Amino acid sequence: MPKHTITRIKNGQLVCRDEDKKVKKTLTQIELNISKRKIKVDDIIIVIEKMVEQWKPSQILDYFIKQHNSSITIDIIKNIKRNILNNKPVIYESELPEEQYRHYLTLINNIVNNNLNNNLHI
């Protein structure tokens, strides 16, 4: 039996006569991103608030180690910062109540404006 046939059987693309093909639920990109996330939304907002206060990633990590003992890493903090500066959403509107989402948007605007001001003064 060819290798590609075995792969198709394992992936559920090809089924035997006495089996039913499993229907996989497709996820939207937002649902996929949320399911892969390793940090809570509240922790993301805390990270963003600390970024507005001009904290460095290592200081933010130290804060989380002292306060929350969560599974946050320096890489997660840097990814949040990079995504914000690249205008990619970190939190989606469907995840938060309207008031908290507006607060999140104002924090994002503050970070972007601070970054623009810092780049202009260089």
pLDDT tens across 71-95, in order? Answer: 789 999 999 999 998 999 899 998 9
pLDDT per position as a tens digit, 27-61: 788 888 888 888 889 999 999 999 999 999 999 99
pTM: 0.73
Q: Where are the domains of the chain?
A: 38-122
CA dist., res. 70 & res. 42, Å (int): 12
CA dist., res. 37 & res. 82, Å (int): 15
CA dist., res. 99 & res. 45, Å (int): 13
